[in-house]
Amino acid sequence: MDQPSGLSLRGKVVLVTGAGRGIGAAIATAFAREGATVAVNYLANEEAAARTVAACQAAGGDAWAVKADVGSESAVQAMAEDIAREAGGIDVVVNNAFKPYAFDPERRSRFDDLDWRDYQAQFDGAVGAAFKVCRAVLPLMRRRARGSIVNIVTNLVEHPVVPYHDYTTAKASLVAFSRNLAGELGPVGIRVNCVAPGLVYPTQGTQNTRESFRESLMAATPLKRLARPEDVAGPVLFLASELSSFMTGQVLFVDGGLVMR
């Protein structure tokens, strides 16, 4: 078992949405490795969630699976109440769940092919889900006058190397949502930040991305490779920890230097 790294996350209660696989599973496991108690949220794939829970427990943390549709206000409220009853509160929330999306540059929808419903679906999946989760957990955080919320966005908001119109627009809105929330919650000790990965491979959304495109993206990236799910976890843990206690409203780009600012 790995030793905790000094991030002071031992005993913290962490909710990671969409944690059954991919980036969410890597984030949940990384928190567990630091000794956190992790609520592994999932929508439908119970088997995948169980694998994440097992990985968290093997890494040295406590974890359990929590089934809830983050698009449902009542389901999210019930999830927050269940976690609070089980673990005594919620210290950290990672809004990772999003509306399923296929990252395929060759077969993406062009602007003329999109309907406003496509934008609305992505907005509901990104901002709507984060809104519902924050509404449910903030009373618990305010009670303790502390907390950290980390929202997963994308580097495409700064560098739309592929114009995924509806997806990127929704994630850009999530950045604005996060910064407004950071401004309001700072005085009560709650921080809100974002992590913006580049193309993360392999995940369910990127598994059909052509090798030629992946190679061209790696060639344009200073660190000459694509992000792995585990690469996203480190910055999330940093923003959740006391090491970033004087940071809020920020966006950390995790894309090997493709975006520099």
Based on the residue annotation, tell me whether 119 is a catalytic residue of this protein: no
CA-CA distance, 226 to 199, in Å (whole number)? 6
The CB density around residue 159, as the number of other CB atoms within 10 Å, is: 17
Choice among 42, 101, 164, 167 that is catalytic: 167
Q: Are 23 and 227 in contact (CB under 8 A)?
A: no
DSSP state of 245: T
46 contact partners, CB below 8 Å, separation of at least 6: 65, 67
* Residue 49 burial (C-beta neighbours within 10 Å; 0-12, 13-18, 19+): buried
Provide the strand spans (E) within 99-208: 147-152, 190-197
* Residue 64 burial (C-beta neighbours within 10 Å; 0-12, 13-18, 19+): middle
Token look-up 């969410």 returns: 24
Report, as residue numbers or ranges, the catalytic residues.
167
